[in-house]
Amino acid sequence: MKKKRMLKADLAAFKKLILKKKEDIIEHIREISEETVKKSQKDASGDISSYTYHMADVATDNYDREFSMGRVSEDREFLFELDDALKRIEDGSFGICEDCGALVSKTRLKAVPSARLCIKCQEKKDKK
């Protein structure tokens, strides 16, 4: 029995899609970093006076920074998943369900290019 594999043209198209997604995520991380990490609290608030900050303003600024850093963390995790998908493209295992060995639908891979499982196997996993 012949082993299931995706067509080379499909793999090339998914590689292009994944590289574009990676580019977008890296740009998003860069934007968030510039907005939150590189600005001082005074710059971020637009306050140029020499008055101290109100505790509520400091708390809001801290929350905003933590929220933004959480988004960066999620983006980095997604980058790792995309890098792994690129490795699977190179080794020929991309688009093959890791549980049942069936081909993962192209529709699913377009929506979630890092998917390792077909819909049926993912649903089984999610129910557990």
List pLDDT tens digits, range 64-87. 777 777 787 888 999 999 999 999
pTM: 0.73
User: What pLDDT sits at residue 1?
Assistant: 44
| % of the chain beyond a pLDDT of 70 | 78
Is residue 11 pLDDT above 70, yes or no?
yes
Considering only residues 51 and 126, tell me which one the structure prediction assigns the higher pLDDT: 126
Is residue 33 pLDDT above 90, yes or no?
no
Residue 110's CB is within 10 A of a number of other CB atoms, namely 12
Residues 6+ away with beta carbon under 8 Å from 21:
82, 113
- In this structure, are residues 12 and 89 in contact, taking their beta carbons and an 8 Å threshold? no
Tokens of 14: 């998914």
Considering only residues 121 and 68, tell me which one the structure prediction assigns the higher pLDDT: 121
